[in-house]
Amino acid sequence: EVQLVESGGGLVQPGGSLRLSCAASGFTFSSYWMSWVRQSPGKGLEWVANIKSDGSEEQYVDSVKGRFTISRDNAKNSLFVQMNSLRAEDTAVYYCARIPIPSGSGHFDNWGQGTLVTVSS
């Protein structure tokens, strides 16, 4: 059974940093593109970033470019996102999700339960 478990969320001040983690199990993690998708009450679901199966390619939504960095450790079956210069509009539940398409351009077939990030002073 595919399992994705996020952690690392919390309350952070504007301008602060946070690192989210996602522990994967039940599938060959190193074979899949992975993503972060977030959900806030005001903006619904929003794709944030993708990373290729071997970590050699990253993609970001414009609003987080230069501030967020997605990474992975295939030896530890783990996905990460380092979030810097956080803004109030980054407040959301962050989901880790798997892309089943080898090209990386695909739907999300498995999701974690999410971790809440709140950016507020």
Partner 1 sequence: EIVLTQSPGTLSLSPGERATLSCRASQSISTSYLAWYQQKRGQAPRLLIHGASTRATGIPDRFSGSGSGTDFTLTISRLEPEDFAVYYCQQYHYSPPTFGPGTKVDIK
Q: Which residues bind partner 1 (CB under 8 A)?
A: 44-47, 59, 61-62, 95, 101, 105-114
Which of the 8 DSSP states describes residue 120? -
CB of 65 to partner 1, least distance (A): 11
Residues 34, 58: Cα–Cα separation, whole Å: 10
CB of 59 to partner 1, least distance (A): 7
**Residue 8 or 106: which CB sits closer to partner 1?**
106
Q: Is the dihedral of CA 3, 34, 85, 46 positive or negative?
A: negative
Given the structure tokens 């478990």, which residue do they identify?
Answer: 5
**Residue 55 or 111: which CB sits closer to partner 1?**
111
